[in-house]
Amino acid sequence: MSRFLQRTLFLFVLILSLSSCNKNIDQPLRVGTNVWPGYEPLYLARELKQLKSEQVKLIEYASASEVIRAFRNRAIEAASLTLDEALGLVHDNYPLKIILIHDVSNGADSILARNNIKTLKDIKGKTVAVESGALGAYVLSRSLELNGLKIQDVKIKHLDVNAHERAFLRNEVDVVVNFEPVRTRLLKQGAKEIFSSREMYGEIVDVLVVHEDTYQYHQQHLRHLVDSWFKALDYFEQNKQTAAGIMAKRLKVSPHEVISSFAGLELGSLSINQKLLSGNPPSLKATMKLLERVLQENGLVNSTLETSNLITDQFLR
């Protein structure tokens, strides 16, 4: 092949590559979430017209697994996930950036048991229902570690969180590891809370992740998305009842239940985002290292994760 043809072919491939990266630059960003109180300010921003439809499109999925699948398949450019789910994508070599903290769990994730089980140390030998995903394994492992127990001390039964209530009521399990809104339903049915994320504050975090190339080519859209998040939080703090009424219509629950669902969460204010995402290194890195260790011990990742360039505070400035 002549040098001229080689150069022509190289330029063609380069232009095609750049065109592929930029072909959707004027299209709205697709952001995937599942139903979780910590993601709800995004939908409040949409209802308040703070989130412009020509820049951002919110897509709600039935479960976190569907959100992850959509992100993997490039059906969405951004996703609201737990930090362990984000690290799972990193482990599978999906280049991404964490650009926003949605919330920090402060009681919304918990371990519930029958009334005859007084403390977490009493679950030795008991059957524990836990999701097969990383978050459930992490909460259980850390709770046992903090109470001098090991995972081998309990009988694990892997169940989807929506199956916990039925299994508990049928006496198929003694203990469940779950989160809102299932937590509130089970407490109403007589379950007793023996551990919550208050005892491991700062370790369970929900984050907004974007593809690496989305971060490179859609910065204006991403800045608008992050700014809209903070505007919605401000509105919620100043107009709590009105905001709860707006969210209640979408969620099909009462405004009181909306406000109650936030009781165990610290929503990602600007100060919390700056605290966790800024600095050298960002303080979120310590949480990631702790989470990575637990994931490795439970066989959920099998190698050290490359997280040096995972976090950015670009849109907080």
Count of C-beta atoms within a 10 Å radius of residue 39: 22
Greater confidence (74 vs 254) lies with: 74
Average pLDDT for 248-261:
88
Instruction: Give the count of alpha carbons within 13 A of 275, CB side only.
Output: 10
DSSP string, 160-198: -GGGHHHHHHTTS-SEEEEETTHHHHHHHTT-EEEEEGG
Query: Coil, helix or strand for 58?
Result: strand
> In CATH, which of 2.60.15.10, 3.30.930.10, 1.10.1740.10, 3.40.190.10 is domain 109-200?
3.40.190.10
Partnered with residue 211 across adjacent β-strands are: 96
CA nearest neighbour of 105 among 178, 14, 28: 178
pLDDT at 134: 64
pLDDT at 25: 63
What type of residue is 41? P
> Taking all residues of the chain, what is their mean pLDDT, rounded to a whole number?
88
160 phi and psi, to 5 degrees?
Answer: -60, 145
76 phi and psi, to 5 degrees?
Answer: -135, 155
pLDDT at 202: 85
Q: Is 84 exposed, middle or buried (0-12, 13-18, 19+ CB in 10 A)?
A: buried
pLDDT digits (tens, 9 = 90+) for 55-80: 999 999 988 889 999 999 999 999 99
Q: Give me the residue spans of the domains in the chain.
A: 27-104+205-316, 109-200
What type of residue is 86? A
Average pLDDT for 219-235:
97
pLDDT digits (tens, 9 = 90+) for 79-102: 999 998 999 899 999 999 999 999
Q: Is there a shared CATH topology between the 27-104+205-316 domain and the 109-200 domain? A: yes
Q: For the domain covering 27-104+205-316, report its CATH number.
A: 3.40.190.10
Task: Determine which of 27-36, 108-117, 126-135 has the lowest per-residue pLDDT on average.
Answer: 126-135
What type of residue is 299? G
pLDDT at 170: 94
Return the H-helix or E-strand segment holding 207. Answer: strand 205-211
Query: Coil, helix or strand for 181?
Result: coil
Quote the CA–CA distance of 253 and 260 in Å, as a whole number: 11
pLDDT digits (tens, 9 = 90+) for 270-305: 999 999 999 989 999 999 998 888 778 777 777 788
Average pLDDT for 22-37:
82
Q: Where are the beta strands (DSSP E) in 39-190?
A: 56-60, 78-82, 96-105, 109-113, 127-130, 155-158, 175-179
- 12 has pLDDT over 70: no
pLDDT at 24: 58
- 312 has pLDDT over 90: yes
pTM above 0.75, yes or no: yes
DSSP-derived letter for residue 64 is H
Instruction: Using pLDDT thresholds of 50, 70 and 90, give the confidence band for residue 152.
Output: very high
